[in-house]
Amino acid sequence: MDKLILEPSGPLRGTVEVGGAKNAALPIMAACLLTEEECVIEGVPHVTDVNTMAQILSLLGVEVAWEDGRLAIHPNHYTGWTAPHELVSLMRASICVLGPLLARHGRAKVSMPGGCIIGLRPVDLHLKGLEALGATFTIEHGYIIGRAERLRGATIHLSGPFGSSVLATGNVMMAATLADGVTIIEHAACEPEVADLANGLVEMGAKITGQGTPHIRVEGVLRLHGARHRILPDRIEAGTLMIAAAMLGGEVTVKGAISEHLGGLIDKLREANVAVESLNGSIRVRSDRRVKGVQVTTLPFPGFPTDLQAQMMAMMTMSEGVSVVTEKIYPERFTHVPELRRMGAQITREGPSAIVQGVGRLSGAPVTASDLRASAALVLAGLAADTVTELSGVEHLDRGYEQLETKLTHLGAAIRRERG
């Protein structure tokens, strides 16, 4: 397995461009199952999760060609309807093929999804929403087996115990595009990736309004056609780079970052005495002093993203004063805490919260990432430490970040990858 060797780094300076959002690319790829015509997706990041989804589509009989950030997907007359465990277990977003398969073929067999170990993430809302459209499900030998003679529009409430679900909203919305009649999704997720999926579906001929709000309306059509769609920039990658600049100091311009998608983070960085400036198509971050401790609570969009919680906590370990980080989306998403402690961080868990007492400096140590965002947090911590840090579990980082170490090196960080 690969390892990253992280050396103490000074302030970061320069301009870096954010890539396309893998959390937007994955559902759009699944949406191509809804048509027989070619779809072209541009701005796709070359990350492991995208490769996994491409393999799933290929096993279903779909032709996928990937070149220079552009995916050409040819669904044609694919006949497969099973998404196998060996691939779906690698990535939770694989569940996105469930709705399109039911809408197009009336049947689907999808393994219970896997992905990062960050706590319970049930598929109940997916099944609830699709059942409201007329699908029926059984769980057999670890697989979700769904059937639907014909989907019909319905009013569906998708609120769960921790708020709305991004993937469930997408799954139901995709299935509803080919259902008879009108579907109303109440308590829909408002994340930019959901709106991007809706916009891609509209480009394919779907009739959708209300994307980006908790109330989405889908009027079913007889068929969808091919389309060309460019996915939006990755707000989580952008946020990770912004936190890196705030934590290590310096001045960094993140080209392509959309401030409207990062309001929760921008607010907390400014509260921590970090200068954040929204430019035309970019965000500039400047930091020349030790950050101040803040209270952070993760919430559905437009609140502070759960996918930036670990990175923000890494920054808070070196803050002045005490910070409290509360996880409202995935209350067990704290696998990074023991590894940060190994580096000298003072963190105490209290239920869904972590109390962080800032320290002057972290210590380099061998650490291991166990999920995607924890890996990014440990990269930042390693660069801020006083001696060399060796990070294992880099395969998690590669699931969602395209050459993060290259981008940070371009800004002045000292990172190298050792191939395993």
Phi and psi at residue 405, to the nearest 5°: -65, -35
Task: Give burial (CB, 10 Å; 0-12/13-18/19+) of 294.
Answer: buried
Instruction: Give the three-state DSSP class for 242.
Output: helix
Dihedral through CA 344, CA 298, CA 253, CA 4, nearest 10? 40
Residue where a domain terminates, one of 178, 204, 230: 230
How is residue 393 written in tokens?
A: 């579990």
Query: Does residue 93 sit in the same domain as residue 212?
Result: yes
Query: Does residue 184 sit in the same domain as residue 72?
Result: yes
Query: Does residue 123 sit in the same domain as residue 272?
Result: no
Nearest by Cα to 181 from 223, 208, 218: 218
How is residue 238 written in tokens?
A: 């952008």
Residue 45 gets the label, from left (phi > 0), alpha (psi -120 to 50) or beta, of beta
How far apart, in whole angstroms, are the C-alpha atoms of residue 406 and residue 404? 5
How is residue 168 written in tokens?
A: 């469930």
Range of the domain at 138: 22-230
Residue where a domain terminates, one of 202, 230, 258: 230
Which residues contact residue 172 at a Cβ distance below 8 angstroms, ignoring those fewer than 6 apart? 99, 126, 129, 130, 133, 156, 158, 183, 185
Look up tokens 């930042």; give the residue: 380
Task: Give burial (CB, 10 Å; 0-12/13-18/19+) of 281.
Answer: exposed
Query: Does residue 216 sit in the same domain as residue 337?
Result: no
Query: Does residue 8 sit in the same domain as residue 47?
Result: no
Of 39, 96, 116, 190, catalytic: 116
CA 84, chain centre distance (Å): 22
Query: Does residue 198 sit in the same domain as residue 136?
Result: yes
How far apart, in whole angstroms, are the C-alpha atoms of residue 203 and residue 93? 22
Query: Does residue 210 sit in the same domain as residue 358?
Result: no
How far apart, in whole angstroms, are the C-alpha atoms of residue 318 and residue 310? 14
Residue where a domain terminates, one of 204, 230, 256: 230
Phi and psi at residue 414, to the nearest 5°: -105, 100
How is residue 37 written in tokens?
A: 């015509």
Query: Does residue 183 sit in the same domain as residue 206?
Result: yes
How is residue 288 written in tokens?
A: 């020349």
CA 197, chain centre distance (Å): 13
pLDDT profile of the chain (420 residues), mean per 10: 94 97 97 97 96 96 91 92 89 92 96 57 86 96 93 94 88 98 97 98 98 97 98 98 98 98 98 96 95 97 97 98 95 94 97 96 96 96 98 96 96 94
Query: Does residue 219 sit in the same domain as residue 274?
Result: no
Burial 105-131 (b: 16+ CB within 10 A, else e): bbebbbbbbebbebeebebebbbbbbe
pLDDT at site 76: 87
Query: The whole model's pTM is what?
Result: 0.95
pLDDT at site 163: 77
The CATH number given to whatever domain includes residue 63 is: 3.65.10.10
Instruction: Give the three-state DSSP class for 305.
Output: coil
- Number of domains the chain is built from: 2
| Host H or E run for residue 368 | strand 366-368
Find residue 186's DSSP bridge partners.
157, 215
Query: Does residue 287 sit in the same domain as residue 195?
Result: no
Query: Does residue 268 sit in the same domain as residue 161?
Result: no
Look up tokens 């993060």; give the residue: 404
Respond yes or no: is residue 39 known to be catalytic.
Answer: no
How far apart, in whole angstroms, are the C-alpha atoms of residue 133 and residue 286? 50
Nearest by Cα to 400 from 374, 381, 378, 368: 374
Query: Does residue 106 sit in the same domain as residue 224?
Result: yes
